[in-house]
Amino acid sequence: MNGPRVSPTRGLTAIDGAMALIVLLLVVQMWLLSATLDAYLAGHGDAALPGAVISGVLFLACGGLCLFVIRLEKLRRVGGAVDSGSSP
């Protein structure tokens, strides 16, 4: 064995959890964008800066989760969890 093993089932569960979290963050980001746009069109330009900062933080969180998913998949490959030739 040349690395940590990741069981296919647990790996998929972790990835599904990460994806669910990303979707949740996306919904928050969409709401944030619409609220900031509405405030901007109403003349409240001071909401733009906190909106952009929070949106950036949410994007970084999504990026982190994406990297987590990619890393998990790589771990599974390199680690040799290869008993995956059959269908579920």
Partner 1 sequence: MKPEKPTETSPDQGAGTGDRPLWREEFSIYKADERYVSRRQLTKFLTLTSLAMFAGNAWILVKSWLRSRVTYPERAIARAGEIPVDGVKLFEYPGPEDQCILVRTSEDRYVAFSQKCTHLSCAVYYSPAHHRIECPCHEGYFSIEDGSVLQGPPTRPLPRVVLERRGTDLVAIRMEAEREAR
85 near partner 1 (CB under 8 A): yes
40 near partner 1 (CB under 8 A): yes
CB-side exposure of 42: number of CA atoms within 13 Å?
Answer: 10
Alpha helices in 1-88 (DSSP H): 8-41, 48-79
CB 22 within 8 A of CB 65: yes
Provide the binding-site residues for partner 1, judged by CB under 8 A.
Answer: 8, 11-12, 15-16, 18-19, 22-23, 25-26, 29-30, 32-33, 36-38, 40-45, 48-49, 51-52, 55-56, 58-59, 62-63, 65-66, 69-70, 73-74, 76-78, 82, 84-88
